[in-house]
């Protein structure tokens, strides 16, 4: 993929600066963490009452709320806490109302619970490519013991077959607000490196991962985590750089320290708040051949302009240092991360930098409705639906150490589209994007870009 013309440099730089500025505005606009200051008060809460939580413990809901006894209530604050509770993924609907008729002003939180344990059909296209079909089944329990514990296991066949099991306890120690997670996974992955594929053709990587981690929730929005992972990576056809070890098999421990801040309202499609993540991972401990470190960061800001318009921005990056970085640990656009306008184009390198900015309009605000049927369990009859429009611009690049990071290396695209906010947190979006050479493409995806 050739680099863009130098005449595009100003526009690409503008996308990066505007995205970072918007993310920072999201932080500034949400500096008080709650949207209560500019609206008239509806009164002060004396107590919070949870209704409808047949299996979910009350503390799971209360831990996500900014409203406490003594809080002055506003309509935006009610909507903000409603969205955060819904973002737990445990409920089909959430309603908050203030009862002022009794002696005590009570905030009533009315929830309808989702079905918490069910088999999960797994089917789709890897990287959005119809030629890469995968299929399988899994089992999920997303509210084990009513404590928001997540238990998941799956077996996937087809393209890049895999098997995994994972468990997460968000509050293993209530007094110190500690969390715990663990998991194991196996996958056979077709190589992502187009550079290596051009030399010998495609090859497979076998990945075995065993991980455990502990975290601490510092505040309503902040958390820190520390995790330890043991990884084994084996390639079907060895060449230098495909693994660090000349045997074609890398075995190593990795340790990751991370910090997260998240004040977003509705996490699958936010309208306000800030999400900031930063991590440092050391790959290879002790006598392992693998020996490099990676720093990653992701900043996302959402600034509400009014009740229908939102300005959203994102900046993400990943920088490596240390020894040899094998192909399986390189960074890519064209798989998980995408540049709209180059949606299926693969960029490869040791480092990555990307930026996006969006102007969103809520065409049909999210509404809750109940299906008029008795054929389904009650947990499946309460659905949410909404429609949103967006115009956007993306820019990004990857590079290897020793290569210059210059503006004219960035690829960029811009366009617009429509998003459907579907039940169970699914976002379907169709978009049209033009790249910096004026070539257009249609995009159909089931992921929120950020």
Q: Which tokens is 72 given?
A: 């002055």
Question: Does any domain span residue 282?
Answer: no
The CA distances from residue 34 to 293, 375, 437, in Å, are 36, 41, 43
Do 165 and 47 share a domain, yes or no?
Answer: no
What CATH number should be reported for the domain holding residue 127?
Answer: 2.40.160.50
Please compute the mean of the pLDDT values over residues 371-395 and round it to a whole number.
78
At residue 31, the pLDDT reads 43
Residues 28-51 have a mean pLDDT of 69
Question: Does residue 127 sit in the same domain as residue 255?
Answer: yes
Q: Which two tokens stand for residue 13?
A: 């730089």
> Is the residue at 85 inside a domain?
yes
Residues 51 and 124 in one domain: no
Q: What is the DSSP letter of 107?
A: E
Neighbours of 196 (CB within 10 A): 20
Are residues 251 and 143 part of one domain?
A: yes
Q: Answer with the residue of higher pLDDT: 360 or 105.
A: 360
User: pLDDT value at position 73?
Assistant: 86
Q: What percent of the chain has pLDDT over 90?
A: 52
What does the pLDDT average to over 189-194?
A: 91
Q: Summarize the confidence of residues 332-359 as an average pLDDT.
A: 93
Counting the structural domains of the chain, the total is 2
| 128 and 41 inside one domain | no
On whether residue 173 sits in a domain, the answer given is yes
Is residue 421 situated within a structural domain? no
What is the pLDDT averaged over residues 47-71? 90
In a domain, 109, yes or no: yes
Say whether pLDDT at 14 is over 70.
no
User: Are 366 and 384 in contact, with CB atoms under 8 Å apart?
Assistant: yes
Question: What is the reported pLDDT for 144?
Answer: 85
Q: Is residue 28 pLDDT above 70, yes or no?
A: no
The pLDDT value recorded for residue 161 is: 95
> What are the Cα distances from residue 77, in Å, to 70, 92, 97, 385?
14, 20, 11, 21
Q: Is the pLDDT of residue 32 over 50?
A: no
What mean pLDDT, rounded, does the chain reach? 87
pLDDT given for residue 418 in this prediction: 96
Do 71 and 166 fall within a single domain?
A: no
**Is 97 contained in some domain?**
yes
More confident of the two residues 25 and 139? 139
30 and 274 in contact (C-beta within 8 Å)?
yes
Same domain, 121 and 229: yes
**Of 436, 417, 438, 439, which is closest to residue 428 (Cα–Cα)?**
417
Asked whether residue 139 falls in the same domain as residue 250, the answer is yes
Angstrom distance (rounded) from CA 125 to CA 130:
6
Instruction: Tell me which of 229, 262, 295 is where a domain ends.
Output: 262
Distance of alpha carbon 426 from the chain centroid: 13
Quick check: 224 pLDDT over 90? yes
Entry pTM: 0.82
- Who's near 70: CB < 8 A, 6+ residues apart? 44, 45
Share of the chain above pLDDT 70, in %: 88
pLDDT of 97 > 60? The answer is yes
Of residues 37 and 319, which shows the higher confidence score?
Answer: 319
For residue 49, is it within any domain? yes
Question: CA-CA distance, 286 to 396, in Å (whole number)?
Answer: 35
Decide if 412 is inside a domain: no
Backbone angles phi, psi at 38, to 5 degrees: -105, 10
Same domain, 257 and 238: yes
85 with 125, same domain: the answer is no
Residue 423 CB burial class (10 angstroms; 0-12, 13-18, ≥19): middle
3-state secondary structure of 128: helix
User: What gap in Å lies between CA 297 and CA 286, rounded to an integer?
Assistant: 26
**Domain termination site, one of 209, 233, 262:** 262
pLDDT at 164: 96
Report whether pLDDT(136) > 50: yes
Range of the domain at 88: 34-113
Tell me the pLDDT band of 361, cut-offs 50, 70 and 90: very high
Q: Are residues 59 and 163 in the same domain?
A: no
β-bridge pairing 204-217 and 427-435: unpaired
Q: Is the pLDDT of residue 380 over 70?
A: no
pLDDT band per the 50, 70, 90 thresholds, residue 428? confident
Of 212, 243, 262, which one is at a domain's C-terminal end?
Answer: 262
pLDDT band at 121 (very low <50, low <70, confident <90, very high): confident
**Does residue 233 share a domain with residue 183?**
yes
Confidence of residue 20 (pLDDT cuts 50, 70, 90): low
Measured from the Cβ of residue 41, the count of other Cβ atoms closer than 10 Å reads: 11
Q: What is the CATH classification number for the domain harbouring 82?
A: 3.10.20.310
């Amino acid at each position: 993929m050739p680099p863009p013309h130098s005449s595009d440099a100003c526009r690409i730089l503008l996308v990066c600066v505007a995205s970072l500025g918007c993310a920072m505005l999201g932080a500034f606009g949400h500096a008080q963490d709650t949207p209560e200051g500019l609206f008239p008060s509806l009164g002060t809460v004396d107590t919070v009452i949870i209704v409808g939580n047949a299996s979910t413990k009350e503390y799971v809901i209360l831990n996500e709320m900014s409203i406490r006894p003594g809080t002055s209530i506003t309509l935006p604050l009610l909507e903000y806490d409603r969205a955060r509770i819904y973002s737990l993924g445990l409920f089909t609907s959430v309603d908050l109302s203030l009862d002022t008729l009794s002696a005590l002003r009570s905030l009533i939180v009315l929830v309808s619970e989702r079905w918490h344990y069910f088999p999960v059909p797994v089917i789709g296209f890897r990287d959005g490519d119809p030629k890469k079909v995968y299929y399988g089944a899994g089992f999920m329990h997303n509210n084990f013991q009513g404590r928001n514990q997540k238990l998941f296991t799956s077996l996937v066949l087809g393209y890049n077959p895999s098997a995994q099991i994972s468990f997460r306890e968000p509050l293993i120690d209530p007094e110190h607000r500690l969390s715990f997670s663990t998991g194991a996974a196996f996958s056979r992955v077709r190589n992502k490196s187009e550079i290596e594929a051009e030399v010998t053709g495609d090859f497979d990587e076998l990945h075995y991962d065993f991980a455990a981690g502990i975290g601490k929730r510092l505040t309503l929005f902040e958390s820190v985590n520390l995790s330890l992972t043991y990884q084994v990576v084996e390639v079907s056809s060895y060449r230098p750089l495909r693994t660090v070890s000349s045997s074609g098999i890398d075995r190593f421990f990795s340790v990751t320290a991370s910090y997260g801040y998240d004040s977003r309202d509705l996490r699958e499609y936010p309208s306000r708040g800030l999400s900031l993540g930063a991590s440092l991972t050391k790959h290879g401990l002790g006598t392992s051949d693998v020996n490099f470190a990676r720093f990653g960061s992701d900043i996302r800001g959402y600034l509400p302009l009014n009740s229908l318009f939102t300005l959203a921005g994102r900046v993400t990056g990943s920088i490596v240092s240390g020894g040899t970085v094998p192909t399986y640990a390189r960074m890519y656009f064209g798989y998980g991360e995408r540049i709209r306008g180059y949606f299926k184009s693969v960029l490869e390198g040791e480092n990555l930098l990307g930026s996006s900015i969006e102007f969103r309009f809520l065409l049909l605000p999210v509404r809750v409705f109940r299906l008029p049927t008795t054929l389904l369990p009650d947990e499946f009859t309460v659905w949410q639906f909404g429609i949103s429009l967006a115009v956007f611009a993306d820019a990004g690049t990857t590079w290897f150490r020793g290569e210059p990071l210059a503006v004219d290396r960035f690829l960029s695209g811009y366009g617009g589209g429509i998003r459907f906010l579907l039940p169970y947190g699914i976002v379907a979006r169709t978009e049209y994007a033009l790249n910096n050479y004026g070539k257009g493409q249609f995009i159909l995806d089931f992921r929120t870009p950020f």
